Structure 1
Amino acid sequence: MFSSKHKKPLLFTGLTLLLAAAMILSVCIGSTRLDLLDALRTLQDPQSASARILLYVRLPRTLAPVLAGLAMAVSGVLIQGVLNNALAGPNIIGVNGGAGLFALLAAVLLPTAPEAMPAAAFAGALCASMLIYLTAMKTGASRVTIVLAGVAFSGIFSAGIDTIRTLYPDVVVGANNFLIGGFSGVTLGSLTPACWYILVGLVLAFLIGPELNVLALGEDTAQTLGMHVNAVRFVLLLTASLLAGAAVSFSGLIGFVGLLVPHVVRRLFGSDHRVVLPAAALLGAAFVTLCDTLARTLFAPYEVPVGILLSLIGGPFFLVLLLQKKHRGRVYD
């Protein structure tokens, strides 16, 4: 048995190696098998078939799930911490739905400006987050009630998305893939704007996220220690929305990553957010990358959107959490 002193560094090393292995598999496995070393050598000739596959197909297809996974996982940690609710997650409480609605609105209103989608998705995610937060503050709602409120808001956002799809069927191209969630057809150009949003969100999360340790002590205690509770919560929700919105802008409405990954990380590393946040980023990136690789290879030559696989995994996990809530009276360790 390893001592607790060495356990966390070993776990971090394991997660880093898992992410590296997931990325290598994603690059090498597909409709055309790619030898990574040979492909890297052929980069001296960018017009060769192997180089073009690596640069224009496999590289963006690998970076997309990495970015989406780490963004959704960190967003989930922040949302669960701010709401003090282990059942919360970007897709569960409607954050993804709000981001998706605003992203589609941007596609309709600004069809020649694809770079507007990340900003619009962020705005939608922020609106959804603030609606849930205000609901929790005004009603003093229980954890389950907050989740139910999120489900209600998700229904409203879904109605808006369906309305856009009905009124503008020719404008919203690929809406089905977007609503399910997946990375088919993603390009480096579509990833670049979202990458900057995610980078800013990660920096903010790592700088301010540890304040969740103080919030976990209770609002009165946090105020006694000199924390401006409402300001910190707002900035944390802003950061969570930035991450979730940026991920939705290129991945669509992938779900359950922000719910599942934080729970696994807390079981492995404990509840210190200084450790939980970077660990969630690593595990989220590896998890979504592995799921995407499976989704596009299990039924080859057909490709299943990764959102379906994530829902098949995340749905039962969410039910287990609800059963824990019922039998133990709590779900937040």
Structure 2
Amino acid sequence: MITTSPWKLTIIALFALSAIGGTAFSLSAGAVYVSLADIWDALQDPAASHRDVIWNIRFPRTLVAALIGINLSLSGAILQGVMRNPMADPHIIGVSSGAGLVGIAVLILFPSYAYLLTPAAFLGGIGAALVIYLLAWQGGISPVRVVLAGVAVSAFLNSGISALLTFYSDRVNGALLFMVGGLATRSWPHVSLLIPYTLLGGTLALIGVQRMNVLLLGDAEAKSLGLRVEGMRLYLLAVATLLAASSVSVVGMLGFVGLIVPHAARLLIGSDYRFLLPASALLGVTVLTITDTLSRIMFAPVELPSGILMGVLGAPVFLWLLRRRGA
């Protein structure tokens, strides 16, 4: 595999073009097809014929999809580095389950406090991540222990979610969509909610990019270079959880994005986080904007939740990537 910087920059440029293409596809496709020229007119002219469809419905939903794609992809990439496990992602290791349990508890038990959903989901996610980290740590991080601890904690938390849905079956309408993950009815308030978390999480991730590369050398080598390994892991764990929890609070427990996207980017661009983070973010925009658009149009007028389509398409793609790598 070519690993020179020009190759990596070329891949990032291609991912940027694919992100633009996915965004354009999301804006143009739907019950009413809107050409790119009409989209531009609608964004510029308040009196344009498709202004309401583009500005009030498709544009904010597309921005939400892009921001969620960035957040989950960055979260997955960080977790895979921190845990030294390419199978780690917010959904599989239980971070999303922790955020989801608290989020569903707020929706079902305290609906009047729905405005606290994001900070509550963050606390649930960071709590789950810390438990998994403590269970997996035994003189260092073992990739096998991370997966086993994550699966166990996720199963425990999912049991809590099931219990809430069972005991409060008369209040589960919104919670069911939250469990599956979807972008239906997402609009400008959700964009405003996500942007600060994306900017903060992305900035904090970029600040730690060099230290993430040092962590890849192993604990002993990282400590010999002066890195406070456990402190850095906790910092990155908090950043990944912030990104994942903000996404869960807006679109629910959307799986596979944080697993597939960073893994696919790594196969093409390598493990250098200076390139991997921007590549993952751009590819995340592409994947989620296209997936969300397909979920809207495949069975129109019925809309399929994006989480279902992501699982159906994501599992075969992930297996194909593993076979190409020879894993």
Query: Does the 8 Å CA contact 1:42/1:48 hold for their aligned counterparts?
Result: yes
Partner of 1:305: 305
Deviation at 1:318, TM superposition (A): 5.4
Q: Is residue 2:12 matched to residue 1:7?
A: no
Query: Does the 8 Å CA contact 1:73/1:261 hold for their aligned counterparts?
Result: yes
Which is worse superposed, 63-72 or 132-141? 132-141
What letter is aligned with 2:127?
A: C
The number of aligned residues is: 327
What letter is aligned with 2:256?
A: F
Distance 1:11 1:320, change over 3 A: closer
Query: Does the 8 Å CA contact 1:254/1:307 hold for their aligned counterparts?
Result: yes
Q: Is residue 2:128 matched to residue 1:128?
A: yes
Which is worse superposed, 31-40 or 176-185? 31-40
CA–CA distance in 2 between the matches of 1:310 and 1:44? 33
Partner of 1:64: 64
Partner of 1:246: 246
What letter is aligned with 1:125?
A: G
Query: Does the 8 Å CA contact 1:115/1:193 hold for their aligned counterparts?
Result: no
Partner of 2:20: 20
CA–CA distance in 2 between the matches of 1:149 and 1:139? 16
Which is worse superposed, 72-81 or 187-196? 187-196
Q: Give the gaps of 5 or more residues in structure 1.
A: none
What letter is aligned with 1:254?
A: L
What letter is aligned with 1:77?
A: A
Instruction: Give the secondary structure class of the aligned counterpart of 1:114.
Output: helix
CA–CA distance in 1 between the matches of 2:221 and 2:45? 62
CA–CA distance in 1 between the matches of 2:93 and 2:195? 24
CA–CA distance in 2 between the matches of 1:324 and 1:8? 19
Query: Does the 8 Å CA contact 1:82/1:212 hold for their aligned counterparts?
Result: yes
CA deviation string 1:77-126 (max 9, x = no partner): 11111111111111111111111111122324542343311111111111
Q: Is residue 2:199 matched to residue 1:199?
A: yes
Distance 1:236 1:72, change over 3 A: same
Distance 1:92 1:322, change over 3 A: farther
Which is worse superposed, 221-230 or 171-180? 171-180
What letter is aligned with 2:294?
A: L
Partner of 2:164: 164
CA–CA distance in 1 between the matches of 2:162 and 2:228? 40
TM-score normalised by length of structure 1: 0.89
Distance 1:54 1:324, change over 3 A: closer
Deviation at 1:248, TM superposition (A): 0.8
- RMSD, aligned CA: 2.6
What letter is aligned with 2:120?
A: A
Deviation at 1:8, TM superposition (A): 2.0
Partner of 1:117: 117
| Same amino acid, percent of matched pairs | 40
Query: Does the 8 Å CA contact 1:74/1:280 hold for their aligned counterparts?
Result: yes
Partner of 2:222: 222
Query: Does the 8 Å CA contact 2:256/2:310 hold for their aligned counterparts?
Result: yes
Distance 1:147 1:322, change over 3 A: farther
CA–CA distance in 2 between the matches of 1:69 and 1:120? 21
Deviation at 1:213, TM superposition (A): 0.9
CA deviation string 1:16-65 (max 9, x = no partner): 11101100110111112223433443457647662121122101210121
Query: Does the 8 Å CA contact 1:292/1:306 hold for their aligned counterparts?
Result: yes
Query: Does the 8 Å CA contact 2:64/2:194 hold for their aligned counterparts?
Result: no
CA–CA distance in 2 between the matches of 1:41 and 1:221? 56
1:140-219 matches, cutoff 5 A? 142-219=142-219
Deviation at 1:14, TM superposition (A): 0.9
Query: Does the 8 Å CA contact 1:209/1:236 hold for their aligned counterparts?
Result: no
Query: Does the 8 Å CA contact 1:135/1:141 hold for their aligned counterparts?
Result: no
What letter is aligned with 1:80?
A: Q
Query: Does the 8 Å CA contact 1:191/1:250 hold for their aligned counterparts?
Result: no
Deviation at 1:324, TM superposition (A): 9.7
Q: Give the gaps of 5 or more residues in structure 2.
A: none
